[in-house]
């Protein structure tokens, strides 16, 4: 019923407009033909609207600023971020000035020089002097912006990371993050995506994880070969399982090749710490982030620290900063007891892209060290998982086989 009423009212509205247009046009025809050009009244009205719009536009800007200006990001919580905010403010002053002035000229001229049949426009084709002025003045401003901007950029990106910087790897996948710390030696152990398993989400390579992965892989191959004997030879299933076995064998060869890594590299990962949902960084210490990705491109965005870097599968990227305000201090500053720094994903990565986050806690160094020492290390985590791991691995193989069977 409502639908019918809506349709009827739309039809009536269209008919009304048609009739109105017709009335306009027949009046115009009676008044001696349709003049394609606006009447004096129309010109005058539109000219006034130019001023009205100018006023409305600038007021809208001012209102938005008044209403939402204090709801933007709080002050930067990193050392370089403070400099970036100053740079941003400087650029904003210039562009807002340019934008407001040009708009005043644009709409004021449009208002002032409205059509008058007794007047002729000024035949003014060019002026080298004027054009030089508005090439050179923007060029000077831009030179300042470029020099200022690039010096900030170079400071942030080229500045060498100090030896004692805290090493953290941020590793995204669809749709969550894992943070990995270097542990007591502050060195991230080697890793490879072929090593990824249920108990080793980042593919860290250590003696322990290698042993486990090789054993699991071999067990899987044995299970698959057993399965192969039960299916008729030459069939599709036979072919699929054969292919999978070949693939697993290639993977096994790759994993076994990691045994050739030097002892230091293999030992580096044992004390690594992997955390999810929330990670800590120490106040006043340089934090050096490394980024990889397990599946698609993600982007690690930490807006409060003015920090962002893409996470690209197949390569490692990095970013470093020094946090300057603890979470507690920021809660006081923002008068929001629930405030938390966040890491979010800022490169479209799939359905739950909008919900990929981690909380970042900035704490004093002591507290940070205490927190880190309480976390389970990588070698501990794979040992505890080992017992359950065998059963898990078995069911994984069964799953694979049953998927092929389907």
Rounded CA separation 363/328 (Å)? 8
Based on CB atoms, which residue is closest to another protein, 63 or 264?
63
Kindly state the smallest distance separating residue 284's Cβ from another protein, in Å: 21
In the region spanning residues 267 to 286, those forming contacts with another protein, defined by CB under 8 A, are none
| Residue 187 is a binding residue for another protein (CB under 8 A) | no
Kindly state the smallest distance separating residue 176's Cβ from another protein, in Å: 13
| Residue 190 is a binding residue for another protein (CB under 8 A) | no
Considering only residues 77, 84, 241, 397, which one is a binding residue for another protein as defined by CB under 8 A?
A: 84
Rounded CA separation 190/196 (Å)? 12
| Residue 12 is a binding residue for another protein (CB under 8 A) | no
SS3 at position 32: coil
Considering only residues 281, 344, 372, 397, which one is a binding residue for another protein as defined by CB under 8 A?
A: 344
Rounded CA separation 310/299 (Å)? 4
Considering only residues 27, 355, 369, 373, which one is a binding residue for another protein as defined by CB under 8 A?
A: 355
Asked whether the beta carbons of 288 and 165 are under 8 A apart, the reply is yes
Residues with Cβ within 8 Å of residue 67, at least 6 apart in sequence: none
Stretch that binds another protein, among 149-157, 176-184, 224-232, 384-392 (CB under 8 A): 149-157
SS3 at position 126: coil
Specify the DSSP element, H or E, that contains 301.
strand 298-302
Stretch that binds another protein, among 11-19, 162-170, 218-226, 377-385 (CB under 8 A): 11-19
Q: What is the DSSP annotation of 37-85?
A: SPPHHHHHHHHHHHHHHHHHHHHHHHHHHHHHGGGS--S--BHHHHHHH
| Residue 310 is a binding residue for another protein (CB under 8 A) | yes
| Token code pair at residue 267 | 């030992």
Stretch that binds another protein, among 47-55, 223-231, 235-243, 376-384 (CB under 8 A): 47-55
| Residue 25 is a binding residue for another protein (CB under 8 A) | yes
Torsion sign over Cα 193, 267, 200, 301: negative
| Residue 55 is a binding residue for another protein (CB under 8 A) | no
Kindly state the smallest distance separating residue 201's Cβ from another protein, in Å: 10
| Residue 170 is a binding residue for another protein (CB under 8 A) | no
| Residue 129 is a binding residue for another protein (CB under 8 A) | no
What phi and psi, each to the nearest 5 degrees, are found at residue 175?
A: -135, 65
Q: What is the DSSP annotation of 186-202?
A: T-PPPB-GGG-BTTBTT
Considering only residues 218, 250, 276, 370, which one is a binding residue for another protein as defined by CB under 8 A?
A: 250
Kindly state the smallest distance separating residue 370's Cβ from another protein, in Å: 27
Based on CB atoms, which residue is closest to another protein, 285 or 310?
310
Based on CB atoms, which residue is closest to another protein, 202 or 372?
202
Stretch that binds another protein, among 104-112, 181-189, 210-218, 267-275 (CB under 8 A): 104-112
Considering only residues 9, 27, 153, 218, which one is a binding residue for another protein as defined by CB under 8 A?
A: 153
Kindly state the smallest distance separating residue 10's Cβ from another protein, in Å: 10
Considering only residues 178, 209, 299, 326, which one is a binding residue for another protein as defined by CB under 8 A?
A: 299
Per the listing, tokens 């152990």 go with 189
Kindly state the smallest distance separating residue 113's Cβ from another protein, in Å: 5
Q: What is the DSSP annotation of 310-379?
A: EE-TTS-EEEEE-B-S-HHHHHHHHT-TT--EEEEE-S--STTGGG-EEEEEEE-HHHHHHHHHHSPBHH
């Amino acid at each position: 019923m409502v639908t019918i009423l809506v349709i009827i009212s739309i039809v009536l509205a269209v008919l009304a407009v048609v009739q109105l247009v017709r009335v306009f046009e027949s009046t115009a025809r009676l008044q001696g033909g349709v003049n394609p050009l606006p009447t004096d009244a129309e010109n005058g009205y539109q000219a006034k609207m130019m001023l009205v719009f100018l006023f409305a536009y600038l007021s809208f800007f001012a209102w938005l600023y008044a209403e939402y200006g204090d709801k933007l990001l709080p002050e930067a919580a990193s050392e370089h971020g403070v400099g970036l905010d100053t740079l941003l403010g400087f650029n904003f002053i210039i562009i807002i000035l340019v934008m407001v002035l040009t708009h005043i000229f644009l709409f004021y001229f449009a208002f002032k020089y409205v059509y008058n049949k007794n007047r002729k426009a000024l035949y003014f084709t060019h002026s080298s002097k004027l054009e030089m002025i508005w090439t050179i003045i923007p060029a000077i401003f831009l030179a300042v912006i470029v020099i200022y901007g690039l010096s900030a950029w170079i400071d942030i990106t080229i500045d060498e990371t100090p030896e004692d910087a805290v090493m953290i790897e941020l590793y995204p996948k669809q749709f969550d993050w894992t943070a990995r710390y270097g542990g007591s030696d502050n060195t991230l152990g080697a890793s490879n995506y072929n090593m990824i398993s249920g108990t080793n989400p980042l593919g860290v390579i250590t003696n322990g994880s290698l042993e486990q992965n090789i054993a699991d892989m071999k067990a899987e191959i044995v299970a698959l070969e057993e399965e192969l004997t039960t299916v008729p030879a030459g069939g599709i299933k036979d072919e699929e399982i054969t292919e999978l076995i070949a693939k697993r064998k290639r993977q096994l060869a790759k994993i076994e090749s990691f045994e050739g890594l030097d002892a230091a590299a293999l030992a580096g990962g044992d004390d690594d710490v992997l955390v999810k949902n929330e990670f800590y960084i120490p106040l006043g210490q340089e934090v050096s982030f490394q980024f990889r990705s397990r599946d698609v491109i993600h982007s690690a965005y930490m807006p409060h620290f003015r920090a962002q870097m893409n996470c690209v599968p197949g390569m490692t990227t990095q970013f470093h900063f020094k946090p300057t305000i603890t979470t507690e201090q920021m809660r006081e500053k923002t008068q929001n007891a629930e405030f938390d720094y966040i890491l979010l994903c800022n490169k479209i990565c799939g359905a739950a892209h909008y919900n990929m986050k981690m909380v970042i806690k900035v704490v004093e160094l002591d507290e940070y060290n205490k927190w880190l020492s309480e976390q389970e290390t990588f070698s501990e985590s794979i040992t505890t998982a080992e017992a359950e791991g065998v059963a898990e691995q078995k069911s994984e193989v069964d799953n694979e086989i049953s998927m092929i069977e389907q």
